[in-house]
A and B are shown apart, each in its own frame.
Chain A
Amino acid sequence: MNSVGEACTDLKREYDQCFNRWFAEKFLKGDRSGDPCTETFRKYQRCVQKAIKEKDIPIDGVEFMGPNKDNST
């Protein structure tokens, strides 16, 4: 599957592989021991955000949660 930003497809695939493994083998089994994909995700996310701006995709207003964000409401 391609990324919405063509240049981001390889980063996307690397992140997806990491995430799918973590999701199946850790998250769904109740293992909360840290997220091994943070660095891969950061690189991928930077690329996607650039592509979104370039293509003028109206995606503002997404509440970015992030694992390290403080979500006190």
Chain B
Amino acid sequence: MKIWSTEHVFSYPWETVIKAAMRKYPNPMNPNVVGVDVLDRGLDEKGRLHSHRLLSTEWGLPGIVRAILGTSHTQTYVKEHSIVDPEEKKMELCSTNITLTNLISVDERLLYRPHPDNPDVTVLTQEAIITVKGVSLSSYLEGMMARRMSANARKGWDAIEWIIQNSERENVPLCDIY
């Protein structure tokens, strides 16, 4: 079992980051996500928005890893539950793979909140528990997955920034003078 966690600060207010996070895919940094669907969505009694989504992803694992894991499948499905609390300014996402579960489980949690010391910026806390099952070299493979997640996390942050900047460009008025 490998536990991985990281923290990142976006220099944008929480609402801006959340709107981008809701529209994260597609983006050029995460080409591995090839399909996203909303399975269900609704408000709870506290006014928080719950969304259940299904993502299909291409692992892009090297051939040798696929050989070790004994699978030729490259597409996996992930289910994600997110909760947006507009009063507390919290957006939490929890995801887990629902295929290849006999081989590996990756449970990930993301939390977006305004920075406690600066309400104009947003902190993303991201953590994952990775377990490779029933295979020798499991801790080696777990380490490799953690490194891949680190690399993907960086791409994820770039993706959010890209979405924000591309939306901002659409909203720039014609004759704004700085």
Binding site for B on A (CB under 8 A): 1-5, 8, 12, 15-16, 19-20, 23-24, 27-28, 30, 32, 41, 44-45, 48, 52, 57-59, 62-67, 69, 71
Cα A27 to Cα B86 with chains together (Å): 8
Distance (whole angstroms) from the CB of A67 to the closest CB of chain B: 5
Contacts of B77 in A (CB 8 A): 4, 57-59
Q: Which of B23, B35, B43, B52 contacts A4 (CB 8 A)?
A: B35
Cα A56 to Cα B86 with chains together (Å): 36
Interface presence of B19 (CB below 8 A)? yes
Report B109-134 residues with CB < 8 Å from chain A CB. Answer: none
Q: Which of A41, A57, A63, A67 contacts B43 (CB 8 A)?
A: A67
Please name the 5 residue pairs, one residue from A and one from B, whose CB atoms are nearest each other, closest first. A65-B42, A4-B35, A1-B26, A67-B42, A64-B40
Distance (whole angstroms) from the CB of B15 to the closest CB of chain A: 5
- CB atoms of B25 and A1 under 8 A apart: yes
Contacts of B26 in A (CB 8 A): 1
Which of B15, B25, B42, B44 has its CB near the most chain A CB atoms (within 10 A)?
B42
Contacts of B45 in A (CB 8 A): 71
Q: Which of A24, A41, A57 contacts B41 (CB 8 A)?
A: A41
